[in-house]
Chains A and B, each alone.
Chain A
Amino acid sequence: MPRRTMIEAIRDAMDVSMARDERVIVFGEDVGFFGGVFRCTQGLQAKYGKSRCFDAPISESGIVGSAIGMAAYGLKPCVEVQFADYVYPAYDQIVSEAARLRYRSNGDFTCPIVVRMPTGGGIFGGQTHSQSPEALFTHVSGLKVVVPSNPHDAKGLLIAAIEDPDPVIFLEPKRLYNGPFDGHHERPVTPWSKHELGEVADGHYTVPLGKAVIRRPGAAVTVLAYGTMVYVAEAAAEEIGIDAEIIDLRTLLPLDLETIVDSVNRTGRCVIVHEATLTSGFGAELSALVQENCFYHLEAPVVRVAGWDTPYPHAQEWDYFPGPARLGRALVETMEA
């Protein structure tokens, strides 16, 4: 099976979707001729023409707002916001419009759009190229929120998102674009070509939305992770020698509660990890759900490891980023609690 980077897998997902359904339209800033600042749309304009893949003005509300209108017409726009840090001008369109169109019109109009955006830190991106705003979307009824962690899932989830009848926020951890990253910034990065999850089948396949996957089965503690943190969790568990069960959530909304509850009820312990800031982050929702559903199986308090409640700094990147050392300490504390 061919190996692809996450960038190539995402591009392939759009290519496959555009070839299968002429209603699929791709646009955003620098997405057309240039092929995207991360190369995710390279070649699509040449292959499908300017009506299907084109450059947009620098206006996030314009990009998402026009996509909503296109969806109301009957197209399936898959648009890009260059960095998740710059989605806020489109927040009104996403929250007030895309998420509610089906509900408020009683299905008269629907909004099958995908809003792709590179997310997450670990790349010296500073304050406005590192944020993880997923909790701002998981709080919105009517949206689906997806965060892939590897090329295979990225392609399958993106095709599923494009085919989904509801609006999907598709967050791509840019730290994972070229290879997995476990937080060990001092070591050279392994490319996806050397990783089995870099195996991406040609053609059409989907990874269903709303289904988590167990990346590492274990019996001692459940780790709930997504995006880059999946590899940080794997590294932390290995380094301290704890038999952790690592769940890659993949879709945050709707959430695969069944897989989570089943795991925590077996292990009796739960550590949640995300890059996003702690307070009111998605970890708070996960923690509450575990507490509500697994209370009588819990042998220790649920622990959250997250970005600090500060804007994402530049020079202090590795003091901020929740790496394997910090997560490892949390795992040890949980086991000793």
Chain B
Amino acid sequence: MADAGMLRFHVPEPEVRPGGTPDFSNVTIAKAGSVPRPEIDVDPRDIRDLAFSIIRVLNRAGEAVGPWAGLLSDDELLEGLRHMMTLRSFDARMQMAQRQGKTSFYMQHLGEEAVSCAFRKALAPGDMNFPTYRQAGLLIADGYPMVTMMNQIYSNEADPLKGRQLPIMYSSKEHGFFSISGNLATQYIQAVGWAMASAISNDSKIAAAWIGDGSTAESDFHSALVFASTYKAPVVLNVVNNQWAISTFQGIARGGSGTFAARGLGFGIPSLRVDGNDYLAVHAVAKWAAERARKNLGPTLVEYVTYRVGAHSSSDDPSAYRPKAESDAWPLGDPIVRLKNHLIQRGVWSDERHTQTEAEILETVIAAQREAERHGTLHAGGKPSARDMFEGVYAEMPPHLRRQRQQAGV
């Protein structure tokens, strides 16, 4: 064989770093309304191209177009807008509360509000989400009390998790929101197991698994796809591609080719890619996937193409690794602005009403915050008892923990 030369090591890099001009010219955006809507019992082999396109409903003029449009009434869309606005307002207040030292940590959803808010409305009561730390819209859109969320964030005396969990690691069985873990991707395979259990029990409930672009590199992503495919589990496998895993651009997890949706094709799982900033598209695709699961047609993988506008967390400064104005250049825009424009275009909304609603929501959030703070914040006021620290490790406290609790003097 001829001399092949020296090997060279390849490390993918994002197109632009701080100081550069944001550039998304490599992101191919399908025209709104251009992607077909297959029947839910479609053979996965016939829709492979959907894993490489982007399903979109709202066009530049704010009109809902194409086969994925027309599923939601005006009232439902107005409710959806309110959910997204509430989540954004909630985020802003909690981010501020973290800066004021009222809690140790917070993570925002800025720019990704449509994904979890619209998805929630495609589920039925009793279905179970296995979320990451960036799907609080599932709770907001299901009417989970903001005060309870804040109590958890503040680790105060009314915290439903007794101060044991890091802020935002919510849990609510009642609201179909599985306990959040700090360990990435673990919940993806658990969601599949939950769905398998529902099928084993001849139930009608389905599960939704959630993961970010970065965490798809974890091995549990792979095991989830294998199990979901093998057992045709009634689960929607969601990948929220917000382009960034802390400082690492999505190309590091993706390997620089294909799409995250395309990962599902190798498992024979129908895989769709959707505009994550398009409330109508997210909802339509979620409904399609949920219906497939519920009709025993098996799992669907959905990649939501979006952008993480905010910092990764309250401990992160994105200006150290990406251009400051990159989010402004993001071609899929802002989910709230886009739904707002659509509702104005439909004649059921206006700039005035939007501004007024924004103010109303802020008042509601502030009122909730006042109520939560009456129960204490991390460093002031009421807090969970130190006795609670020893409870719940086991169903019944074993002797060694009883001894330790005694030693702790609580």
B residues 187-238 near A (Cβ < 8 Å) are 188-201, 207, 219-220, 222-224, 226-227, 230
A residues 66-111 in Cβ contact with B at 8 Å: 66-70, 72-75, 77, 89, 92-93, 96-97, 100-110
- Number of B interface residues at 8 Å Cβ cutoff, please give it: 47
Q: Which one of A57, A75, A97, A257 contacts B186 once the chains associate, using CB atoms below 8 Å?
A: A97
Q: Given A69-B207, A70-B193, A105-B161, are A166 and B395 neighbors across the interface (CB < 8 Å)?
A: yes
- Asked whether B314 is an interface residue with its Cβ less than 8 Å from the other chain, the reply is no
Q: Judge whether B114 is part of the interface by a CB distance below 8 angstroms.
A: no
3 A-B pairs with least C-beta separation: A69-B193, A66-B193, A62-B223
Q: Is B143 an interface residue (CB 8 A)?
A: no
Most chain B beta-carbon contacts within 10 A, residue among A69, A103, A108, A255: A69
Q: Are B201 and A106 in contact, CB atoms less than 8 angstroms apart?
A: no
Which chain B residues border A104 with CB–CB below 8 Å? 161, 164-165, 169, 171, 179, 181
> Which chain B residues border A141 with CB–CB below 8 Å?
393
A287 at the B interface (CB under 8 A): no
Q: Jot down 27 A-B pairs with beta carbons below 8 A, ordered by A.
A: A52-B200, A59-B222, A62-B223, A66-B189, A66-B190, A67-B193, A69-B191, A69-B192, A70-B197, A70-B200, A72-B128, A72-B178, A73-B128, A73-B197, A77-B193, A89-B219, A93-B186, A97-B186, A97-B190, A103-B392, A104-B169, A104-B181, A105-B179, A108-B179, A166-B395, A254-B394, A258-B399
Q: How would residues 104 to 142 of chain A score, 1 for a CB under 8 Å from any chain B CB and 0 otherwise?
A: 111111100000000000000000000000000000011
Collect the chain A residues with CB atoms within 8 Å of residue B178's CB. 72, 109
Contact A69 B194 (CB under 8 A): yes
Q: How far is the CA of A70 from the CA of B199 in the complex (A)?
A: 10
**Which residues of chain A are near B219, meaning CB under 8 Å?**
61, 89
Q: Given contacts A72-B190, A89-B219, is CB(A66)–CB(B196) below 8 Å?
A: yes
In the complex, which residue of chain B has the Cβ closest to the Cβ of A68?
B190
Say whether B160 contacts A106, CB under 8 Å: yes
Pick from B173, B226, B392, B398: contact of A102, CB under 8 Å: B392
The answer on a CB contact under 8 Å between A72 and B171 is no
Q: From A25, A57, A105, A164, give the contact of B230 (CB < 8 A).
A: A57
- B-facing mask of A129-171, CB < 8 A → 1, else 0? 0000000000001101000000000000000000011100000
Give the residue name and chain of the A residue nearest to B161 (CB).
A106
CA distance A70 to B178 in the complex (A): 12
Closest to A209 in B: B398
Within the assembled complex, what's the spacing in Å between the Cα atoms of A110 and B392? 10
Q: What residues on B are CB-neighbors of A166 within 8 Å?
A: 394-395
B161 to chain A, nearest CB (A): 5
Contact B201 A73 (CB under 8 A): yes
